[in-house]
Amino acid sequence: MAESTAQAVAPEALTSGARPSRVSTSLRRSLRWLGVVPFGVYVALGLLAPFVAIAIAAFRNSSTGAFTLSNFNTALHGTYLLGLKTSLLLSIATAIVPGIFGLLVAYAIFTAKRGNVLRQVVITASGVFANFGGVPLAILFIATLSTTGIVTGWIKDLSGVDIWNHGFTLYSAYPGVFIVYMYFQIPLMVLVILPALEGLRPAWREAAENMGAGTWQYWRYVGGPVLLPSFLGCLLLLFGSAFSAYATAEALTGGTVALTPIQIGALLNGNVVAGQENLGYALGVIMVVIISIVMIIYVILQRRAARWLR
Amino acid sequence: MSALVAAAQKEGQLNVITLPSNWANYGAIMKDFTAKYGIKITDANPEGSSGQEITAVQQLKGQSRAPDVVDVGPSFAVEGANDHLWAPYQVATWNNIPADAKDANGDWYADYGGYVAIGYDPAKVKVAPTSFASLTSPAYKNMIGLNNSPTTAGAAFAAVYAAALANGGSFGNIEPGIKYFAHLKSIGNFVPTAIGGPTTVQNGTTPILIWWDYLLASEVSPVVKGFKIVIPSDASYASYYDQAISATAPDPAAARLWEEYLYSTTGQNLWLQGFARPIELSTLVANGTVNKTAYAALPPAPSGALTFPSSAQAAAAETVVTQNWPTQVGG
Amino acid sequence: MATVADVEAGAQTPASATRPAARRRSFPVWRWAILLIAGVFFLIPLYAGLRFAGLKAFANVFTYPGFGSAVGLSLRLAAITTILTLVLMVPTTVYVHLRLPQIRRSMEGITIMPIVIPPIVLIIGVLKVAPGFLLGTPYLLALVYVILAMPFAYRSLDAGLRAFDLKTMVEASNSLGADWPTTLWRVVLPNIRTAMLSATVLTVALVLGEFTMASLALYVTFPVWIVQFEQNAGPVTTAASLLALFVTWILLMLIVTVGGRGARKRGGAQVALFTVAAPAESSQTMGEPE
């Protein structure tokens, strides 16, 4: 600990050199922010500006352009409220379960050497599957698990049980959409947690074992604390990804499951409802509000976890 | 007309949008137009929706790749007119288009359409369905599908409307149609997947598909042997799509030439060959200029005059479907 | 990493009891079990799709025009997006870790936004605010894709930077006389190689798979080209999407192999740095969370 504090002092001495301390610390402090200016500008132009344009439209009546709250009112009632609730729950479920499984898969390969073929195959396959979705994915799962799917057939041949007669269905949120979401959520998790796993030095494992720690103790006192912040961060990412996923669930359920992105799609992208784009924008704004709330919970969780694990 | 052709050829290109080549024979139509006038056609986003056409016209205003003409569902044509997106134009054969199928100003005009029909694969479906009522038979368990969700696809929405008509509803009351599909789902007949097209018929997921008759004929029949199409006996509901010229079209002369071509005998007959009913069909038949083979290939049209819901009725019905479809049919 | 290889080979240290040895032997088994389950889950639907499509359908895919130009456009977009993303995010993330650690949470918050705003909504917003000259070029998509890739790139880089003691290494490098570019290039970058590779893989795969925005902006990228098959019979659609999957995967394998080769060259120097830094790290990272 002593070394790090001593070294923490050092860089100030190094970089300030012969600069007189009269150069106000406030100036230096504001100059610090220069480093994130490029990022800030890019985000402002590429994310903030479009979002503001959308948000403004959300407050306008679609046909007259007058200021109105009616879009938000509609968005928070009836089928749209149901959509928000279902989306929220489904996203939480399809963040946690694939999160855990993805962590296991990533852990299974991260100890392999960097040039290891298995590791490279898993990484690239994860990249591909993480972005695979929509109608093609739905077609694949229908070919696998529908009433005429091959796995349904295998199960029937092996055990005589027709899963569809026992309540299994692809066409609702659970288990159908849930299972299909795993197909891109797990690979996403593998890819984003892998760099974090690199932080687990094998030397620590050895050191822990030499001191007599078992697997559980290693994870409780060493592995877990190191990994937890990143793990939670990756779960947040998975949640966001599931929350805005649209094409796959739509292809699978044909609108019979109310999910917010699907509803936005029907409003902005459809062939039936015309002239209600601003309602779609309002829903988009609400989604951003929800994720902001989730972010706050996430930050609280991180703080709690850190304190608990110390 | 020749002045129009000259001006169009000077522009040299036409931007169309969301026209799949096997939808109502658009592939052949575009090819023939280019061969005839030497004007290159760029078809953007062929799988897109009417909503995307509106977005493209609005957001790409001023760009040379903005759409010149659109082919949209009725509610979108009306919305576009309200937003002043269209340039009024009356084709040479304007008077052959029925009055309730066009905008009085000339902002939009119906082009082709078809009936909601039940298509089925006889290899998998042993008892032939004939009506909406017949589809509730337990023989059709896990067999019936729509091409997509009625909250987003015009054909599916029309199917719900047709089901409403068959079950005591009306243009002003689409709820019986929703209840019908909810019932179909609860007895296990309805498969709500929304992959669309012939795929689910081919892989056996939905051997019975409710869709536009012309699309069943042009997209599913070629790939499913012996595929049969029948217009339900208890409800016939037809809908027509609408053409419009963008007010900010980058190639206005080519756009107008395109419309003249579509509403000429050649254009209308080409649509007919795509199994769709062109809007001027009755005139063509009366004049004897109709393509007889193509006309004979159509499923027999139900008797009685064609009626359409008004825009207000349609808009109200859309809201009802959007609100109730997930809760009643999803459940 | 020599240490890992020793561990894997089951090298026994004199002081270890039988339990560690047993664990080491069972670890590979558990690893293979997980990979097997995952493999089965991911490969069976592909097999089902292949069976449905039939091999003939693949030939049909190539007969459609526009394959070359669509793939070319997507590859160009992927390259530009990846370079832009790395150029923007690597220095920013490093800088935030070094100089502005207090805004790390805000960064996470900002970078998660692009995921949550549905692409349809975002692209309409972009089309509304983009100036005319940008609207006319497909490279507008590359600029937007950088925003889409941001969450994944930031998450990867953030995790990668947490995984080693950045501050100590940078200070050590500075005190040894290296200037900032050298420090960045020869000390920081090699240590976040996995993170950068992860970010690259995700970005390239994202661009090659992104459909909604490209189609709404009316550009024919590879995924847009693939979707046109949806109007066709199912087998051709499925064959087309499986082909897209395969092409993307091959491309990523190329990237990872080339990227990995560079790492092995520098491998030796890294190991020493890790073992030296380890004791200071563990206390540092434990005290880290804010």
Q: Are residues B103 and B148 in the same domain?
A: no
Domain carrying residue C204? 64-279
Distance from CA of B9 to the nearest CA of C (A): 23
Q: With an 8 Å Cβ cutoff, is B59 touching chain A? A: no
Give the C-alpha distances (Å, rounded to integers) separating B166 from A289, B192, B241, C102: 44, 20, 23, 65
Task: Summarize pLDDT for B192-220 with one digit per residue, the tens.
Answer: 888 877 888 888 889 999 999 999 998 89
Q: Are residues B204 and B250 in the same domain?
A: no
Report yes or no on C11 lying in a domain: no
Distance from CA of C51 to the nearest CA of B (A): 10
Task: Identify the segments of chain A with pLDDT beneath 50.
Answer: 1-17
Q: With an 8 Å Cβ cutoff, is B113 touching chain A? A: no
Q: Are residues B89 and B8 in the same domain?
A: yes
Which of these, B17, B67, B9, lies nearest to B40 by C-alpha position?
A: B9
- Which chain B residue's Cα is nearest to C121? B55
Q: Which of A162-171, B199-208, B277-286, B314-323 has the lowest mean pLDDT?
A: A162-171
Report yes or no on C56 lying in a domain: no
Q: Are residues B24 and B91 in the same domain?
A: yes
In the predicted model, is pLDDT for residue B317 greater than 90?
Answer: yes
Q: With an 8 Å Cβ cutoff, is C39 touching chain B? A: no
* Banded model confidence at residue C23, pLDDT cuts 50, 70, 90: very low
Question: Is A273 within 8 Å of B324 when comparing Cβ atoms?
Answer: no
State residue C279's pLDDT score: 37
Give the C-alpha distances (Å, rounded to integers) separating A172 from A31, A90, A237, A257, C269: 54, 11, 24, 6, 54
Task: Summarize pLDDT for B76-124 with one digit per residue, the tens.
Answer: 999 999 999 999 999 999 999 988 889 999 999 999 999 999 999 999 9
Q: Are residues B75 and B119 in the same domain?
A: no
Of A256, A265, A274, the CB nearest to B330: A256
Q: Are residues B57 and B74 in the same domain?
A: yes
Report yes or no on C284 lying in a domain: no
**Chains near A (3 or more Cβ pairs under 8 Å):** B, C
Q: Report ipTM for this prediction.
A: 0.84
Average pLDDT of the residues in C186-209: 88
Question: Is B205 within 8 Å of A148 when comparing Cβ atoms?
Answer: yes
Q: CB count, 10 Å around CB of A222?
A: 19
Q: Judged by CB atoms within 8 Å, which residues 215-274 of B form the interface with A?
A: none
Question: Is A310 within 8 Å of C286 when comparing Cβ atoms?
Answer: yes
Whole-number average pLDDT of chain C: 77
Q: Are residues B26 and B104 in the same domain?
A: yes
* Banded model confidence at residue B310, pLDDT cuts 50, 70, 90: confident
Which domains does chain A show, CATH number per domain?
A: 75-309 (1.10.3720.10)
User: Angle A260-269/B50-59 helices, nearest 10 degrees?
Assistant: 70
The answer to whether the beta carbons of residues A272 and B154 sit under 8 Å apart is: yes
* Banded model confidence at residue B275, pLDDT cuts 50, 70, 90: very high
Report yes or no on C21 lying in a domain: no
Of A148, A253, A271, the CB nearest to B194: A253
Average pLDDT of the residues in B62-82: 92
Question: Is A171 within 8 Å of B52 when comparing Cβ atoms?
Answer: no
Question: Is A195 within 8 Å of C31 when comparing Cβ atoms?
Answer: no
* Banded model confidence at residue C285, pLDDT cuts 50, 70, 90: very low
State residue C190's pLDDT score: 87
Domain carrying residue B138? 114-237+306-330
In the predicted model, is pLDDT for residue B331 greater than 80?
Answer: no
Q: Are residues B171 and B143 in the same domain?
A: yes
Question: Is A233 within 8 Å of C23 when comparing Cβ atoms?
Answer: no
Q: What is the CATH number of the domain that holds B20?
A: 3.40.190.10
Report yes or no on C166 lying in a domain: yes
State residue C262's pLDDT score: 59
State residue A308's pLDDT score: 67
CA B326 to chain CA mean position, Å: 24
Question: Is B193 within 8 Å of A271 when comparing Cβ atoms?
Answer: no
In the predicted model, is pLDDT for residue C227 greater than 80?
Answer: no
Q: Are residues B202 and B177 in the same domain?
A: yes
Q: What is the CATH number of the domain that holds C262?
A: 1.10.3720.10
Report yes or no on C288 lying in a domain: no
State residue A22's pLDDT score: 59
Whole-number average pLDDT of chain B: 91
Q: Are residues B292 and B174 in the same domain?
A: no
The answer to whether the beta carbons of residues A77 and A167 sit under 8 Å apart is: no
Question: For residue A78, which residues of chain B lie inside 8 Å, CB to CB?
Answer: 323
Average pLDDT of the residues in C169-177: 89
Report yes or no on C128 lying in a domain: yes
Residues facing B209 on adjacent strands: B119, B145
Q: Which of B84-93, B151-160, C7-16, C146-155 has the lowest mean pLDDT?
A: C7-16
In the predicted model, is pLDDT for residue B185 greater than 80?
Answer: yes
Return the HEC string of chain B.
CHHHHHHHHHHCEEEEECCCCCCCCHHHHHHHHHHHHCCEEEEECCCCCHHHHHHHHHHCCCCCCCCCEEEECHHHHHHHHHCCCEECCCCCCHHHCCHHHECCCCCEEEEEEEEEEEEECCCCCCCCCCCCHHHHCHHHCCCEEECCCCCCCHHHHHHHHHHHHHCCCECCECHHHHHHHHHHHHCCCECCCCCCCCHHHHCCCCCEEEEEHHHHHHHHCCCCCCCEEECCCCCCCEEEEEEEEECCCCCHHHHHHHHHHHCCHHHHHHHHHCCCEECCHHHHHHHCCCCHHHHHHCCCCCCCCCCCCCHHHHHHHHHHHHHHHHHHHHC
Q: How many domains does chain C have?
A: 1
Average pLDDT of the residues in B31-41: 94
